[in-house]
Amino acid sequence: MLQQNINPKKVFEFFEQLSAIPRGSGNMDAVALFCENFAKEHKLKYIRDNANNVVIYKDGSEGYQNSRPIILQGHLDMVCQKTPECNIDFEKDGLQLYVDGDFLKARGTTLGADNGIAVAMILAILESNDISHPPIEAVFTTNEEVGMIGALALDKSVLKGNQMINLDSETEDLVTVSCAGGSDFKAIIPVETIKRQGTKITLSIKGLRGGHSGVEINKQRVNADILAGRILNHLQKDIGFDIISVSGGDKPNAIPNSFTAELCVADCDAFCKAAQDYIEIVKNEISDREKDFATKVTVCDSGEFNVFSKDIKDKIIYTLLCVSNGVCEMSATIDGLVETSLNLGILQSDSNKVVLHFALRSNKRTSLAFLEEKLATFFANQDIPYETFGHYPPWEYRENSPLRDLYCDAYFKKNNKHPRIKAIHAGLECGVFAGGIDDFDCISIGPEMYDVHTVRERLSISSTENLYNLLIDVLKKLK
């Protein structure tokens, strides 16, 4: 049991109960049942759908019965990471919580405060009979961490409210007011191979910083796949080679920090010299932002190899050299916000195909649609098949937001300072709800937590208390 003197007591009691339930993404049955049983125990109307989303309804308190409903929303799943020596089985074991000063932590694992603390706060509000509030629609979604699957599957018609407080943010003095939508774009080049005599050489790029393709796309991080296109294009002009295989990146939403190509060359010494000379030029150019950039040219065996045909090789190099990548547009209304971007996150080949997998993002629906159209035209003109999938809508910035104004006013009165207002170039479930609810008015807030999704994850106890009390104050004002 957690220490009895940490507050809000009910919030941390519910968080401890949630932490005893295995709830990694994809393992949602038990935690959904927990929420369902909570609703039954407290005689609250609820819905549990086929995606294990749970919606719990609570009537407005005395004097608030006819007020506009408010949606309180968080997700049930957590990212499961553990230290090498930790023996917890995330499929069947709960977490081992402990208090360290002002922080709540878990022994050897992620804490799951993202987003368990939101669920705990909402459950505490639903249980209480002492909090003044309008009608509440508490929405607990599933599998957010692996693509917002639950939110996308939820039938939004079960919700009557059009104002929502999402509790999936991680900084107490921050109010998020917009997020990017996105999609996946995959181009697939069918492979044609021929036999070629020569020496196999491995060209490797490593040591780049990489990063998140949303929040770090504007930080001048070099994309290893795009850089490889530049190097290969230069080398094919200077000296001949054929491509055996290419590989760079393993997640579409991560900027690749490494790349490897297997090449077949006729003149090994000439190729190695040309490669090293040009790599030195590139290194001098990018060393101010990529201090650990390194390459390795390894001479392997000689013989006969299956290589890509010239047409396939040319398509690969042309695409890497000329396709759009990185920041496309900055916002004209929100300073410093990347509005539209794309990231080539995966470049992989096998004996049948070469796959290029892009993550597209935009805070505007029309810009996202145009970016897809632009890529589609680029690949169609090369007769390269493509597909798009994984669409999730953006949450567009709303100039007139009564909910935002009310929250900011309550925050100022409590803290004697204004909260920071921010739009993010990454996905939140708010965008999914915005796509299904007319005249949607929303904010995203949360207490201070650090090193989320790592075994160092920790949650500030005092910040949780501050934010919970502020949330109660906001509910009271929503009359």
User: 112: domain CATH number?
Assistant: 3.40.630.10
Is residue 2 in a domain? no
330 burial class (0-12, 13-18, 19+ CB within 10 angstroms)?
middle
Going by C-alpha positions, the residue among 65, 66, 137, 20 that lies closest to residue 437 is: 137
**Length of the chain, in residues:** 479
Is residue 319 in a domain? yes
Same domain (yes/no): 120, 201: no
Global pTM?
A: 0.82
Q: What is the pLDDT of residue 237?
A: 87
Same domain (yes/no): 255, 152: no
| Cα atoms in the 13 Å half-sphere on the side-chain side of 328 | 24
Tokens of 315: 């398509």
Is residue 1 in a domain? no
Which of these is catalytic: 77, 145, 168, 242? 77
Same domain (yes/no): 359, 430: no
Is residue 173 in a domain? yes
Please confirm, yes or no, whether 396 is among the known catalytic residues: no
Is residue 4 in a domain? no
What is the spatial distance between Cα 397 and Cα 401, in angstroms, rounded to a whole number? Answer: 9
Tokens of 320: 């890497």
Is residue 92 in a domain? yes
Q: How far is CA 66 from the centre of its chain?
A: 37
Amino acid (one-letter) located at 3: Q
Please confirm, yes or no, whether 77 is among the known catalytic residues: yes
Same domain (yes/no): 86, 154: yes
**How many domains does the structure of the chain reveal?**
2
Same domain (yes/no): 201, 320: yes
Q: What is the pLDDT of residue 212?
A: 87
Please give, one letter per residue, the 3-state secondary structure of the chain. CCCCCCCCHHHHHHHHHHHCCCCECCCCHHHHHHHHHHHHHCCCCEEECCCCCEEEEECCCCCCCCCCCEEEEEECCECCCECCCCCCCCCCCCCCEEEECCEEEECCECCCHHHHHHHHHHHHHHHCCCCCCCCEEEEEECCHHHCCHHHHHCCHHHCCCCEEEECCCCCCCEEEEEECEEEEEEEEEECCEEEEEEEEEEEEEECCCCEECCCCCCCCCCCHHHHHHHHHHHHHHHCCCEEEEEEECCCCCEECCCEEEEEEECCHHHHHHHHHHHHHHHHHHHCCCCCCCEEEEEEEEEEEEEEECHHHHHHHHHHHHHCCCEEEEECCCCCCCEEEEEEEEEEEECCCEEEEEEEEEECCHHHHHHHHHHHHHHHHCCCCCEEEEEEECCECCCCCCHHHHHHHHHHHHHHCCCCEEEEECCCCHHHHHHCCCCCCEEEECCCCEECCCCCCCEEEHHHHHHHHHHHHHHHHHCC
User: 241: domain CATH number?
Assistant: 3.30.70.360
Those residues with Cβ within 8 angstroms of residue 449's Cβ, 6 or more apart along the chain or in another chain: 111, 113, 114, 117, 170, 457, 458, 459, 460
Is residue 3 in a domain? no
Domain that includes residue 53, residue range: 9-180+395-477
Is residue 246 in a domain? yes
Q: Which residue has the tokens 């900027």?
A: 255
Same domain (yes/no): 234, 110: no
Same domain (yes/no): 165, 222: no
Domain end, chosen from 339, 370, 392, is at 392
Same domain (yes/no): 166, 95: yes
- pLDDT tens digits for the chain (479 residues)? 676 789 999 999 999 999 999 999 999 999 999 999 999 999 999 999 999 999 999 999 999 999 999 999 999 999 999 999 999 999 999 999 999 999 999 999 999 999 999 999 999 999 999 999 999 999 999 999 988 999 999 999 999 999 999 999 999 999 999 999 999 999 999 999 999 999 999 999 999 999 989 889 999 999 999 999 999 999 998 788 999 999 999 889 899 999 999 999 999 999 999 999 999 999 999 999 999 999 999 999 999 999 999 999 999 999 999 999 999 999 998 889 999 999 999 999 999 999 999 999 999 999 999 999 999 999 999 999 999 998 988 999 999 999 999 999 999 999 999 999 999 998 899 999 999 999 999 999 999 999 999 999 999 999 999 999 999 999 999 98
Q: Please state, as a whole number, how many other Cβ atoms lie within 10 Å of the Cβ of residue 227.
A: 22
Q: What is the pLDDT of residue 1?
A: 61
Cα distances from 404 to residues 174, 220, 334, 363, 439, in angstroms, run 11, 32, 16, 18, 14
Same domain (yes/no): 275, 294: yes
Q: What is the pLDDT of residue 238?
A: 77
Domain end, chosen from 367, 392, 417, is at 392
120 near 11, Cβ under 8 Å? yes
Which of these is catalytic: 13, 137, 144, 372? 144
Q: What is the pLDDT of residue 89?
A: 97
Same domain (yes/no): 306, 416: no
Tokens of 344: 């080539």
461 burial class (0-12, 13-18, 19+ CB within 10 angstroms)?
buried
Tokens of 305: 């190899």
Same domain (yes/no): 360, 448: no
Domain end, chosen from 392, 422, 439, is at 392
Q: What is the pLDDT of residue 215?
A: 84
Q: Please state, as a whole number, how many other Cβ atoms lie within 10 Å of the Cβ of residue 248.
A: 26
Dihedral of alpha carbons 136, 38, 7, 165, sign: negative
Same domain (yes/no): 420, 361: no
